[in-house]
Structure 1
Amino acid sequence: MLPRTPSLSAHDRRVLDEIDELRRKLRHQVRQTPAKWTDGLRRTLTAQAIAGSNTIEGYKVDSVDVEDLIDGEQEVAVSEDNKAETLAYQHAMTYIQSLHDAPDFTYTKSLLNSLHWMLQGHHHPAKLAGQWRRRGVWINEPGDPQSVAYVAPDAEALPDLMAELVDWLGGGDLDAHVLVRAAMAHLILVKIHPWSDGNGRMSRSLQTLVIARGGVLAPEFSSIEAWLGKPGNTWEYYKVLKRVGGPEWSPERDTAPWIRFNLLAYHQQSQSVIHRIDRSNRAWIDLAEYAERKGFDERQVTALHDVALAGRVRRARYQRAENLSNQQAVRDIRALTEAGLLEAVGNTKARYYVPGPDFPADVLEQVRRPLRLVDPYED
């Protein structure tokens, strides 16, 4: 027996309708936005999801550093452990993103174990990867290693429970909204806890995969991990998992609070992404107009835009984005630096650029303006 998908309250259904409307708006925005902008946005959202997951698991790599690692930068100021975790998760996320439209796709135990190997294989054999755990396991209270928060099912029960989950993924509750099914997939997997380590990441990855297979939005827009990685939200995440899951495997418990928590996450993450697209588009238009007035080439707007949105840019990233030679990229960055629009930080190999003293202040003010997220469950 697995935890059951709850019936939605009238308020839940209203929130879900709002989420659908936000996602339709987001899909329209993406379709109307030039590919050059959306490519960067997809990379940024993937990096934010990975950074959020890192935060939940206790690894500290900010989203800008994650982007640099994704881009293949070698001189990023993070530890080797943090780098290994980030790149492993990025590989798994890339594979998940590629599965969103895969023909003849099926959920299998082998697929889940393979994804787990992508995430945790660099720890093998110290921590078994790509195979069910072979002994019992418990989860400690966050921040209190002496207290047990949850005892997972016995190892002997895992083959049957995972077979039941795979069957459900393929054909269970198909009349439920895809976002609800994805949230339930996350809850079921994290409570079965079938691996010795990496269960949280795998459960969140499965949630993203189920949403992506729903086909409403590109997979990069489907993850709520950036939202979950915010400190206050991470704490609430642990609280609701404890409340719904109970102290041990108890699939008969009410799962409605978990669904409400996820609907809040979907709603606020959609708000954040729409806001990011709006400010990204506005910043690009303003910087393009500025560059034209000052006599800079249109391609240099890419570097200025990255600096405005991310806070910094590397020469190599700009070179790849605009398909330039090394010499041309160096000349472009030097020109922007000499004009006071960029300012170099660091030595040659690790150097990156931040807004210079003459960077348009109105653009920076606009992109840094915070968003007040709406809680759809508040009257």
Structure 2
Amino acid sequence: MLYRTPALASKDREVLESIDKMRHELRHQVLQTPTKWTAGLRKTLTAEAIAGSNTIEGYKVDSVDAEDLLDGELEVAASEENKAETLAYQHAMTYVQSLHDVADFTYSKSLLNALHWMLQGHHHPRKLAGQWRRDGVWINEPGRPQEAAYVAPDADRIPALMDELVTWLNESDPNGHVLVRAAMAHLILVKIHPWADGNGRMSRSLQTLLIARGGVLAPEFSSIESWLGAPVNTWEYYKILSRVGGKEWSPDRDTAPWIRFNLLAYHQQSQSVQHRITRSNRCWIDLTEYAEHHGIDERQVTALHAAALAGRVRRARYQRAENLSNQQAVRDVRALTEAGLLEAVGNTKARYYVPGANFPPEVLEAVRRPIRLVDPYED
């Protein structure tokens, strides 16, 4: 038996309806926004999801460096181990995102093991990758290594439990809400803990896959992993997993608090993405108007837009985004630097550009203005 989906309380249904409304508004907003304006945001959100999920496991690469790594820029301020974990998760996340519209898709144990190999293959054979663990495993209490917070099912139970999970993913409650099913898939997989390592990231990836398969939003806008990676949310994440899952495999426990926690995450992530899209669009429009009045080529707005939103831009990323030759990109970035709109930081290989002294201050003020996220359960 697996952990069971709870009946939703009236407040849960109210919050879920609010999430659905926001997600459909986001879909309309994205479809109405020129692709060029959202391309960078899609990559940024993917990088933030990867960085957030890895941060939960103790791998520290900030989202801007993660985005550079996704672009093939290896000269970032991170250890080789953290780079390797980021790139491995990129491979898994890219595959997860690519599955969102596969017509004859089915969940299988082979699919999950293949995703695990993408995530953990660089550790094999020291740590098994793409195969169920062969030994018992437990999770320590944070800060108390001698105390087990959770003892996972014995290794010989894993094949049957994973069979049951795959059957549930493919057949059970097909009319259930995708966001609730995705949250339950996360909980069940992390509590089975079928692999020697990487179970948390795999469970979060499975949740992202279910949401992406729901088809409301593009995969890049579907993940809550960056929200979970915020320190205050990570602490609550561990607390709720422990509270709901128990000290050992106990599928008869009440899972309602877990669903409420995930509905909060979905709601606040939707608020954040909605704000980011609006901010990105406003920034692009403002910079385009500035460029028209100051003799700046329209394509150079791409570099200025990236510098404003992410805080920095690399010449190679700008070159790829605008499909320029190396000579054209160098000339454009040099012109922006000489105009004081960008400022170079670092040496040749690691060099990037930040907003310069003459960057329009009102644009920077607008993009740096913080958002206050609303807790729908406190409304």
Question: When the two structures are superposed, what TM-score results if normalisation uses the length of structure 1?
Answer: 0.99
Deviation at 1:147, TM superposition (A): 1.7
Q: Distance in 2 between matches of 1:222 and 1:102?
A: 17
Q: Which residue of 2 aligns with 1:2?
A: 2
The 3-state SS of whatever aligns with 1:367 is: helix
- The farther-off stretch of 11-20 and 71-80 is 71-80
- Report whether the alignment pairs 1:25 with 2:25: yes
Q: Which residue of 2 aligns with 1:359?
A: 359
Q: Which residue of 1 aligns with 2:273?
A: 273
- Report whether the alignment pairs 1:250 with 2:283: no
Q: Which residue of 2 aligns with 1:138?
A: 138
- Letter of the 1:119 partner, please give it: L
Deviation at 1:144, TM superposition (A): 2.5
Deviation at 1:68, TM superposition (A): 0.5
| Residue pairs, 1:106-185, within 5 angstroms | 106-185=106-185
The 3-state SS of whatever aligns with 1:146 is: strand
Q: Distance in 1 between matches of 2:296 and 2:373?
A: 37
- Letter of the 1:39 partner, please give it: A
Deviation at 1:362, TM superposition (A): 0.4
Q: Distance in 1 between matches of 2:18 and 2:234?
A: 23
The 3-state SS of whatever aligns with 1:21 is: helix
Deviation at 1:366, TM superposition (A): 0.2
- Letter of the 1:302 partner, please give it: T
**Deviation readout 1:305-355 (Å, 9 max, x if unpaired):** 000000000000000000011111011001100111100000011100001
Q: Which residue of 2 aligns with 1:284?
A: 284
- Letter of the 1:154 partner, please give it: D
Q: Which residue of 1 aligns with 2:98?
A: 98
Q: Distance in 2 between matches of 1:141 and 1:56?
A: 14
The 3-state SS of whatever aligns with 1:139 is: strand
The 3-state SS of whatever aligns with 1:191 is: helix
Deviation at 1:38, TM superposition (A): 1.5
Q: Which residue of 1 aligns with 2:374?
A: 374
Q: Which residue of 2 aligns with 1:345?
A: 345
Q: Distance in 1 between matches of 2:370 and 2:316?
A: 29
Q: Which residue of 2 aligns with 1:196?
A: 196
**Deviation readout 1:164-191 (Å, 9 max, x if unpaired):** 0000000112221000000000000000
Q: Which residue of 2 aligns with 1:50?
A: 50
8 Å Cα contact 1:5/1:173 also seen in 2? no
Q: Which residue of 2 aligns with 1:82?
A: 82
Deviation at 1:78, TM superposition (A): 1.2
Q: Distance in 2 between matches of 1:41 and 1:345?
A: 23
The 3-state SS of whatever aligns with 2:20 is: helix
- Letter of the 2:315 partner, please give it: R
Q: Distance in 2 between matches of 1:308 and 1:319?
A: 17
- Report whether the alignment pairs 1:262 with 2:262: yes
Q: Distance in 1 between matches of 2:345 and 2:305?
A: 18
**Deviation readout 1:250-287 (Å, 9 max, x if unpaired):** 00000000000000000000000000000100000000
Q: Which residue of 1 aligns with 2:311?
A: 311
Number of equivalent positions? 379
Question: When the two structures are superposed, what TM-score results if normalisation uses the length of structure 2?
Answer: 0.99
Which consecutive unaligned segments of at least 5 residues does structure 1 have? none
Identity percentage of aligned residues = 82
Q: Which residue of 1 aligns with 2:38?
A: 38
Q: Distance in 1 between matches of 2:102 and 2:144?
A: 42
Deviation at 1:143, TM superposition (A): 2.9
The 3-state SS of whatever aligns with 2:354 is: strand
The 3-state SS of whatever aligns with 2:73 is: coil
**Deviation readout 1:284-307 (Å, 9 max, x if unpaired):** 000000011000000000000000
Q: Distance in 2 between matches of 1:209 and 1:231?
A: 24
**Deviation readout 1:1-53 (Å, 9 max, x if unpaired):** 00000000000000000000000110011001111111111101000000101
Deviation at 1:212, TM superposition (A): 0.9
The 3-state SS of whatever aligns with 2:150 is: strand
Deviation at 1:145, TM superposition (A): 1.8
Deviation at 1:77, TM superposition (A): 2.0
- Letter of the 1:325 partner, please give it: S
The 3-state SS of whatever aligns with 1:111 is: helix
Q: Distance in 2 between matches of 1:226 and 1:312?
A: 20
Deviation at 1:75, TM superposition (A): 1.5
Deviation at 1:142, TM superposition (A): 2.1
Which consecutive unaligned segments of at least 5 residues does structure 2 have? none
RMSD: 0.6
- Letter of the 2:139 partner, please give it: I
Q: Distance in 1 between matches of 2:146 and 2:43?
A: 39
- Letter of the 1:124 partner, please give it: H
Deviation at 1:117, TM superposition (A): 0.4
- Letter of the 2:341 partner, please give it: L
8 Å Cα contact 1:135/1:154 also seen in 2? yes
Q: Distance in 2 between matches of 1:101 and 1:143?
A: 42
- The farther-off stretch of 153-162 and 75-84 is 75-84
Q: Distance in 2 between matches of 1:229 and 1:140?
A: 19
- Report whether the alignment pairs 1:206 with 2:190: no
Q: Distance in 2 between matches of 1:71 and 1:64?
A: 11
